[in-house]
Amino acid sequence: MINAVVGLRCKECGRDQAKEPVAACPECWGGLEPLYDLDRVRRTFTREAIASRPADLWRYRELLPLDDEPTVGRGTGFTPLLPAPRLGRRLGIRDLWVKYDAACHPTLSFKDRLVAVALSKAREFGMDTVGCASTGNLANAVAAGAAAAGLRAVILVPEDLEAAKLVGSAVYGATLVGVRGNYDRVNRLCTEIVERHGWGIVNVNLRAYYAEGSKTVGFEIAEQRGWRLPGHVVVPMAGGSMLTKIERAFRQLVELGLVEARPFRLHGAQPAGCAPISGAWKAGLAQPRPVKPDTIVRSLAIGDPTDGAAALAAIRRTDGRAEDPGDDEVVDGIRLLAETEGLFAETAGGTVVAAAQRLARAGAFADGEPVVLQISGQGMKTVEALSGRPPFAAVIDARIADFETFWNDRGTAA
């Protein structure tokens, strides 16, 4: 396999090092990122070659950090990019698109992409046990991916997560450990577990490889738009990694000549109850200040975001903005996307829709350029968010007369 990855580079001090399972730069504790020699793949990684490959994330394998053939995640990714005209009219956005990553195989969130990369890498390293600290979606993805790959999985989550996210991890036979405390505590514990056990914790010592999986969101958006970059992408932020990786993906495509260079803006979305990155953007700070999360948007509830400063820099570099709608707006956003486009998003998606509404009102999309909403997870995973309102219009006996009474009276009720 021809591959472009040549090593790991520290994002802080620029020091290079070998491709190993390491959590951070040994010099300065900065985050690490795979380094590519794009000249190696210029001739093989063409629009035609990509188009001839199966519709999954591995069609972009030259720009993913593997040395061998991928072994995990066949069929994962290549989710639909859908026009959203009805939602667009409601939000006042002329050319609106939804990247529906809630349809990602196998566990209905974009985290399946990252896990495909991380577990393929874990197998290259000869690891037999993998795991993660998770706000829920990653737990589902690691549990499913490990089961399919025949790896042992040990997964740590805050013990009070949504029921579907807990059941949807345990069902795959993973060892699921509930931790009393929020995600930031779970993450610190996982760092210590790596030191003790040497397991492949995807967002600790496999993080440099795992995070690259998010680039495939950007590659797909560009390819699905006929190899053109969109004017705007609204991206949910927890640790802030995905936003930075969408920028990296767009820039790598430009460097390879696969898309024309043109301005694009990346906008970040966080819930008001956990908005360290958005808050720092609004306050003009270079670094997010850690917060204690208090929001229904559990998937974005990371109070001390690992890639927060990098996400802030990417937002500013692309002339984007950040928004942090409240929980009520998030629920309205979930309903609006469902009622206008027939797409059910989890709370992270509701956050993106609600942020897009605020951004549209502020004139952020006034240039009329295409706007893509990254909808990163499925609504069935967070039904608790909607439990405030009963789902039935009525409960009746199985008699036509009862139905007719209900139907004729419905306008007068409420």
Ligand X SMILES: Cc1ncc(COP(=O)(O)O)c(C=O)c1O
Q: How far is CA 370 from CA 81, 215, 264, 343, 400, in A?
A: 12, 19, 10, 19, 48
User: In angstroms, what is the minimal distance from the CB of 121 to Zn ion?
Assistant: 21
* 158 near ligand X, judged by CB under 6 A: no
User: In angstroms, what is the minimal distance from the CB of 322 to Zn ion?
Assistant: 27
* 117 near ligand X, judged by CB under 6 A: no
DSSP letter for each residue of 333-354? HHHHHHHHHS--B-HHHHHHHH
Q: Smaller CB distance to Zn ion: residue 27 or 404?
A: 27
Of 364, 88, 122, 101, nearest to 219 by C-alpha is 101
* 238 near ligand X, judged by CB under 6 A: yes
Q: Smaller CB distance to ligand X: residue 39 or 294?
A: 294
User: In angstroms, what is the minimal distance from the CB of 309 to ligand X?
Assistant: 13
Of 210, 200, 195, nearest to 307 by C-alpha is 210
* 187 near ligand X, judged by CB under 6 A: no
Residue for token digits 């001390």? 304
Question: Going along 11-115, which residue ranges are E strands?
Answer: 16-17, 32-36, 81-83, 96-100
* 182 near ligand X, judged by CB under 6 A: no
* 240 near ligand X, judged by CB under 6 A: yes
The interface with ligand X within residues 55-94 (CB under 6 A) comprises: none
φ/ψ of residue 263, rounded to 5: -65, 140
* 186 near ligand X, judged by CB under 6 A: no
3-class SS at 62? helix
Total number of residues binding ligand X (CB under 6 A)? 18
Of 375, 317, 329, nearest to 354 by C-alpha is 329
Q: Smaller CB distance to Zn ion: residue 135 or 241?
A: 241
Q: What's the sign of the alpha-carbon dihedral 250, 252, 257, 258?
A: negative
Of 236, 288, 293, 350, the residue at the interface with ligand X (CB under 6 A) is: 236
Of 4, 242, 291, 312, the residue at the interface with ligand X (CB under 6 A) is: 242
The interface with Zn ion within residues 14-53 (CB under 5 A) comprises: 15, 25, 27-28, 30
User: Are 357 and 93 in contact, with CB atoms under 8 Å apart?
Assistant: no
Using CB under 5 A, list all residues that contact Zn ion.
Answer: 10, 12-13, 15, 25, 27-28, 30
Using CB under 6 A, list all residues that contact ligand X.
Answer: 109, 111, 135, 137-138, 236-242, 299-300, 346, 348, 376-377
